Amino acid sequence: MASEGLILKVDCPDRPGLVAKIASYVSDHSANLVEFNQFTDRVGEKFFARLEIDTSGLDVEDFISGFGSLGRSLEARWHFRKLPYKMRTAVLVTQTDHCLREILWRTELGEMPIEVTSVIGNRADCCGIAERSKLPYHHVEMKEDKEAGFKEIQRLLKEQDVQLVVLARFMQVMPDWLCKEYEGRMINIHHSFLPAFAGANPYRQAYERGVKLIGATCHYVTPDLDAGPIIEQEVARVQHYHGVKDLVRLGRDCERSALAKGIRYHVHDRTILDGNRAIVFPD
């Protein structure tokens, strides 16, 4: 990713010459295209693109405002993000900690441009992990009054000016109103290829069914439970000698990998939502 520049995401009705028009706009402003990914959905007759632009020596504000004329002529939706940046991210947890640890580790490595504002949990199990990373931990009780608990979570998210919410094995069903408020900005990891093996003890269910593949699905959260646009999926082969503990181990690896990729694609603006699906331009 360029140290100084812009990311541009655009989608519009498909028509001839779109790539040339967008590339020409960049060239006419003497900017340098670092990356140009595009996809044409021939069934839906839509065009999607992600551009990374080196803007060294360029009037960035003029470049952004000037694109409006082209965008409107293409009947497009578009979004610019200035580089470099860090996306303010809250991580929600319950008891299991492997996804939280993966996020913190990859953030420390610099793989994901995020700033973890806090860890929020409906149990205290992950408090020590947050404290060792010098992050605030907010224990929000959900047993007696879940609505009050979700209102408190909403308050924390607003107070911290959170741009992305990650459900890192947060074992509570998000209310519709909070899903809608963070539409396209809330990511979840699910322990299977959706919607298989829902409910309690998914790996025991998988074991009892004798599955040959298990996986994990990273998706955007919507009011329809576990049915949001899929960002990434991972899979592992199951052998006949694998027991429930082995499936848990394999599944845990899938969850960590799928969630890390899903977050990275989102924060690097490599996803474009198109109804019930996500168009993803992997790195």
Indicate which CATH number applies to the domain containing 17: 3.30.70.260
Query: What is the dihedral angle through the alpha carbons of 216, 217, 221, 224, rounded to the nearest 10 degrees?
Result: -90
CA gap 271, 195 in Å, rounded: 22
The CATH number of the domain where 99 resides is what?
3.40.50.170
Q: Is 176 a catalytic residue?
A: no
Strands 164-167 and 87-93: parallel
Catalytic residue among 41, 125, 226, 274: 226
Q: Within the chain, what is the greatest distance between any pair of CA atoms?
A: 62
Confidence band of 76 (pLDDT split at 50, 70, 90): very high
Boundaries of domain holding 200: 87-280
Kindly state the average pLDDT of the residues 155-182. 97
* Most confident residue range from 29-33, 115-119, 208-212, 213-217: 115-119
- Domains contained in the chain, number: 2
- Of 25, 60, 83, the position where a domain reaches its end is 83
Let me know whether 34 and 123 are in one domain: no
Let me know whether 74 and 126 are in one domain: no
- Of 44, 65, 83, the position where a domain reaches its end is 83
- Of 83, 106, 126, the position where a domain reaches its end is 83
Q: What is the pTM of this model?
A: 0.92
CA gap 228, 278 in Å, rounded: 9
Query: Which residue stretches of the chain are H helix?
Result: 18-28, 60-73, 98-109, 127-132, 146-159, 176-181, 202-209, 244-267
Strands 186-190 and 164-167: parallel
Let me know whether 22 and 131 are in one domain: no
- pLDDT 10s digits, 220-278: 999 988 889 999 999 999 999 999 999 899 999 999 999 999 999 999 999 999 999 99
